[in-house]
């Protein structure tokens, strides 16, 4: 599906950037594993620590402090923030860039009220931000893989496919 997604973005003149917490770079790897991905994939940030979410994606520190980083609004701000930040850095119109975020709990312990397997995926497009919420089962790697799969499916859905 990633190959088709890259082709669709190429046809539409769209670029992809990611900011990952839960997936720790695995989502970026899904894109860069496809030959020719550099036509579409701009790059990303692994923002495991909260301060990096605020720095790279302008997520409100007070929101993270109040809600933890495992939160729908944090995911939305991450996706929109990285999209805006990359548009500025690349000197590109933001409407041509897609921002994808992943945040959640891979374990072994819960975070606040969020159980292991809790996940939020944010998609930021020209039409605004959408957030998907999931509760995955499995070990750390299985949770990270499931999050990547759902992030790709979410983008596919947002692009109307």
Q: How many CA atoms lie within 13 A of 156 on its CB side?
A: 14
Regarding pTM above 0.95, the answer is yes
Domain borders along the chain are: 14-141
pLDDT, tens only, 121-157? 999 999 899 999 999 999 999 999 999 999 999 999 9
pLDDT, tens only, 61-80? 999 999 999 999 999 999 99
Six token digits for residue 116: 């292991």
Strand-pair category, 118-125 with 128-135: antiparallel
What secondary structure does DSSP assign to 25-92, as a single string?
THHHHHHHTSTTGGGTEEEEEE--SHHHHHHHH---HHHHHHH-SSSHHHHHHHHHHHHHHHHHHHT-
CATH 3.90.950.20 corresponds to the domain 14-141:
yes
């Amino acid at each position: 599906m990633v190959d088709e997604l890259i082709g669709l973005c190429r046809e539409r003149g769209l670029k992809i950037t990611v900011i990952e917490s839960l997936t720790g770079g695995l989502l970026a790897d899904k894109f860069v594993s496809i030959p020719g991905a550099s036509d579409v994939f701009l790059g990303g940030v692994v923002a495991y620590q909260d301060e990096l979410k605020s720095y790279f994606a302008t997520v409100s520190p007070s929101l993270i402090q109040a809600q933890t980083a495992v939160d729908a609004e944090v995911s939305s701000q991450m996706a929109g923030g990285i999209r805006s930040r990359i548009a500025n850095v690349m000197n590109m119109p933001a409407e041509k860039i897609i921002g994808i975020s992943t945040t959640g709990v891979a374990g072994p312990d819960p975070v606040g009220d969020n159980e292991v397997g809790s996940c939020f995926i944010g998609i930021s497009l020209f039409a605004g931000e959408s957030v998907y919420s999931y509760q995955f089962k499995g070990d750390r790697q299985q949770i990270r893989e499931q999050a990547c799969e759902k992030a790709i499916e979410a983008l596919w859905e947002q692009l109307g496919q």
